[in-house]
Each structure stands twice: as C-alpha cells, then as structure tokens.
C-alpha cells in the first residue's frame, strides 16, 4: 500500500501549465474577462468562443496598444472567420478576401457591411468584453 502513496500524491499535486483562456462570470455591467493584456501581447490576438454573445476576436489598437478592440470574427459576407493580419493592420477573410480595418470598418468587399464590434476595455491588465 505504501508504494502507491507517492503516485497518489503526485496525481493530486497542482501542475504548472500554460494559463488557459478562461472566461469569467459576467459582472454587473455585463462585462466578462477573456484574458490578460500579457496573453494578447504574446499572441497578437485573442479568440474566445465561450461568451454568451458568441465568438469574439480581440486585438490591441494598432495606434495605442493600451486599448483593445473586440469584433465578431464572422465575416458578414458568408460567415467565414476573419484573421487579424498585424502587418496589414486589417482583418482579412480567407474565403473571398474581404478586408476590414482594425475598428471593423469595411475596406474591401465582396462583404458589404463592417464587422460587428463589441465594447471592450482594460481593467488593470484584464481584458473585459461586454457580453450582455
């Protein structure tokens, strides 16, 4: 019996892993945390599919990295998920090449509407998106 004890203890000890992108409960103003500024800076973008409003793609504002922009990544043309291309300061749709500015505004079709924006802010180093 004693020979199994270390194995059992090892299984119960906390393991150091990369922080998962976890979504907090909605606060009184309807904001939810989707990650930290450090995570966003490291990855260049954060995508969450866990909010009640659906998928949210967050980037740092190109002209002010201390502010964040949150959009629905679903392309208004036919629903493909757009990608953030930092080198072009634009969201590009992989399906038919629609192009959107960092604030979601339409730059090039075939899409005819901008990306849907969500309110987002930083509270300390925590990124909050209005999800309610």
Residues of this chain that bind ligand FES (CB under 6 A): 75, 77-78, 80, 93, 95-96, 98, 110-111
- The least CB distance from residue 104 to ligand FES, in Å, is 13
In the complex with ligand FES, which residue's Cβ is closer, 99 or 121? 99
Torsion from C-alpha of 80, 31, 125, 44, nearest 10 degrees? 0
- Both tokens of residue 4? 């199994």
In the complex with ligand FES, which residue's Cβ is closer, 35 or 73? 73
- The least CB distance from residue 91 to ligand FES, in Å, is 10
- The least CB distance from residue 127 to ligand FES, in Å, is 25
Question: Which residues in 77-104 are b (16+ Cβ under 10 Å) and which e?
Answer: beeeebebeeeeebbbbeeeebbbbbeb
In the complex with ligand FES, which residue's Cβ is closer, 23 or 111? 111
In the complex with ligand FES, which residue's Cβ is closer, 35 or 76? 76
- The least CB distance from residue 48 to ligand FES, in Å, is 20
State the CB neighbour count (10 A cutoff) for residue 21. 16
User: CA 67 to CA 41: how far, in whole Å?
Assistant: 11
């Amino acid at each position: 019996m004693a020979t199994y004890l270390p194995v059992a203890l090892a299984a119960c000890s906390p393991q150091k892993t990369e922080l998962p992108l976890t979504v907090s409960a909605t606060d009184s103003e309807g904001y939810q945390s989707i990650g930290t500024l450090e995570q966003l800076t490291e990855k260049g973008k954060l995508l969450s599919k866990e909010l009640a409003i659906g998928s949210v793609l967050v980037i740092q504002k190109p002209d002010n990295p201390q502010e964040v922009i949150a959009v629905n990544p679903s392309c208004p043309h036919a629903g493909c998920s757009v990608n953030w291309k930092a080198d072009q300061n634009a969201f590009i749709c992989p399906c038919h090449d629609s192009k959107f500015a960092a604030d979601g505004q339409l730059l090039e079709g075939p899409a005819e509407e901008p990306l849907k924006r969500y309110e987002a802010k930083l509270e300390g180093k925590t990124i909050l998106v209005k999800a309610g």
